[in-house]
Structure 1
Amino acid sequence: MSIAIVVEDKLRADINVSELQIANESHMHSGPATDSHFKLVLVSDDFAGKRLVQRHQMIYKILAAELQSPIHALAMHLYTEEEWARKNGKVMPSPTCQGGSKS
């Protein structure tokens, strides 16, 4: 089973998801890893009243095993439904990696 599917299954089991996007961005980074760098966009009213750090902590707890290995980096964009509507359902594209052999 792919890491993205595992992540999706775990998040959907623990959070009331309105919108979920998981992008494998490993190809944008140095090294041979193919399932190590991900971008997560998650919209849930479970985030209402929570500061950004608290939202991140929720995800860290759910994905603790995957963040030990194989996930090396996880860009998180976490919104309530109201915040997502104000953003018109858009997030900034991830920057190209400048580390390792890419620089």
Structure 2
Amino acid sequence: MPEFRLPLSGDVVQAINPWFDMFKAFGSQFGLININLGRSPAPEIEQDVLREVGSYGRQLGRMGEALMVLIDKLEPKLGDLTRDERLALDAFRVMQSEIDQIKAHHGSRK
């Protein structure tokens, strides 16, 4: 026999979404992709820079390109570096080369 209930009587159904409850403490934004990489002393400035200047990847890419220019220009003077310092520069060059290959594969413009 079907169960008959009057309005406002009977079981209470409440959806409990632990993901929403956990993330709502971090701000009002909740969407498909939200990235918060830490606490910033000036989040408004950080958001403006990301929106108007470029993403973290673009900023890092520009810094990497600038460092490569400096490293290439200073190459004759790098003889005074220690072995570990040379290895650090070599690792950086390898990383930049790998990034350039990925960019070329995707047809990325600088």
Normalising to structure 2: TM-score of the pair? Answer: 0.22
- Normalized per residue, the structure richer in strand is 1
TM-score of the aligned structures, taking structure 1 as reference length: 0.23
Query: Bigger radius of gyration, 1 or 2?
Result: 2
| Higher percent of residues as helix | 2
